[in-house]
Amino acid sequence: MSHRIVTLAAWAVLAYLTTAASAQTTDSKKDDGAANQSGPTIKDAYKGIFLIGAAGDLPGGYSADELDLVRQNFNIVTPENCMKPGPVHPSENTWRFERPDALVKWCAENHIAVHGHTLVWHAQTNNWFFRDGDKAVATRRLKDHISTLVGRYKGKIRGWDVVNEAIKDGGNSETAKTENLRNSPWMKALGPDYIPLAFKFAHEADPDAKLYYNDYNIEAGPKHESSMVLLRRLVKDGVPIYGVGIQGHWNTARVPYEAIDRAIADYASLGLKVSITELDVTIRGASGGQLGRGRPRGEVSPPSAEDLKAQANAYAKLFTIFLKHKSQIERVTFWGLSDRRSWRRGQHPLIFDAANHRKPAYAAIVDALQHPKPEAATPR
């Protein structure tokens, strides 16, 4: 009997010490920038406000854990590469539908919507579209491409980035008065009409699909002004455009908050919806962008607690701005799944770390619903 009491007492002491030790670990981890792993998921927290998306060529090549992460946290997926003209339509009579079909099927099985990306772009588009042909041939190839792809997934893909990145970078006060279109192969082949034509063909193939113009850095400066000139033309000409995609590849050191706030209102004033289509915010400081300098190849330097905090703050401010415009915003999509599944790997840009754990930014985004960051939501 007394032996039993001693054993129980020993267990109690051990249990106390273990709890104390683990509390200490959690506390000291917190100081290291470790994030709370519980609490509502981002897609549930933002339900009925906007769709929350991730980019990726799912499901092939993803682990079971990663697929679970997608199911739990996101309600819309953008194929990162597999539906772009180059991969899906490498030559005039060759289509590679295996990955796009698998993605659409997996998303349907998991009740996840799909946003198609992208029909017309200057990059990842093979030369055959423009070879040995006049304007009529290039127009026919554009139409065939769009009708086949959009038609195949009619009713299964919610919307499309119809034209991607048509506006030149940079600019000045003169170009700001013009559309300042990039001299892309499509521009050379068809002139500025390629843009309304692409929207027309996409709309004919799926009248219910929500059609987007998508671009980066269009929230600020002369490029923003040019985007307004272009979009005004499209709206005036009755082009079936539904929304504008602000890509959102930013960095904690210089997120143009005020410009973003204004740009969303500007696009809404044209009667267009807005989505944040490729969101990622890299961290500043020494741990941003260091792809293994002085480290074994491929190894990435970890972010500091301070950097993670700054990133969480940046994401919270951004979501406060998005919430301010919630009636105009359809969707916020992250460009990738985790810091391992990102085109900016090494710069820690997303809300899950490389081991699929929530980063401080995750809770900050959910928390922005209850506690908006006021400095980011000042009225215009």
Give contact residues for ligand 9MR (rule: CB under 6 A): 80-81, 123-124, 164, 247, 278, 343
DSSP secondary structure, 107-168, as one string: HHHTT-EEEEEEEE-SSS--GGGTTT--HHHHHHHHHHHHHHHHHHTTTT--EEEEEE--BP
Residue 370: strand, helix, or coil: coil
* 81 versus 147: smaller Cβ distance to ligand 9MR: 81
Q: Which residues of 310-320 are buried (b: 16+ CB within 10 A; e: fewer)?
A: bbbbbbbbbbb
Q: How far is the CB of 283 from ligand 9MR (least distance, A)?
A: 18
The residues, any chain, with a CB within 8 Å of residue 136's CB and separated by 6 or more, are none
* 124 versus 378: smaller Cβ distance to ligand 9MR: 124
Residue spans of alpha helices (H) in the chain: 2-31, 42-45, 64-73, 85-88, 98-109, 135-152, 185-190, 194-205, 221-236, 257-269, 305-324, 360-367
Distance CA 47, CA 318 (A): 18
Q: How far is the CB of 32 from ligand 9MR (least distance, A)?
A: 30
Return the structure tokens found at 181. 């279109």
For residue 274, the one-letter residue type is V
Q: How far is the CB of 8 from ligand 9MR (least distance, A)?
A: 58
Q: How far is the CB of 125 from ligand 9MR (least distance, A)?
A: 10
Q: Which residues pair with 51 in a beta bridge?
A: 331
Q: Which residues of 260-269 are buried (b: 16+ CB within 10 A; e: fewer)?
A: bbbbbebbbe
* 34 versus 279: smaller Cβ distance to ligand 9MR: 279
Q: Which residues pair with 160 in a beta bridge?
A: 116, 211
Q: How far is the CB of 247 from ligand 9MR (least distance, A)?
A: 6
Distance CA 267, CA 256 (A): 16
How buried is 87 (Cβ within 10 angstroms: 0-12 exposed, 13-18 middle, 19+ buried)? middle
Q: How far is the CB of 13 from ligand 9MR (least distance, A)?
A: 54
CA atoms within 13 A on the CB side of 110: 22
* 13 versus 123: smaller Cβ distance to ligand 9MR: 123
Which among 27, 51, 20 is positioned nearest to 276, based on CA atoms?
51
* 130 versus 343: smaller Cβ distance to ligand 9MR: 343
Q: Closest residue to ligand 9MR, Cβ-based?
A: 343
Q: Any idea which residues carry the catalytic annotation?
A: 165, 278
Distance CA 343, CA 354 (A): 13
* 8 versus 123: smaller Cβ distance to ligand 9MR: 123
* 112 versus 279: smaller Cβ distance to ligand 9MR: 279
Measured CA to CA in angstroms, residue 205 lies from 105, 119, 147, 199, 254 at distances of: 20, 12, 5, 10, 40
* 124 versus 269: smaller Cβ distance to ligand 9MR: 124
Distance CA 210, CA 188 (A): 27
Q: How far is the CB of 147 from ligand 9MR (least distance, A)?
A: 22
Q: How far is the CB of 124 from ligand 9MR (least distance, A)?
A: 5
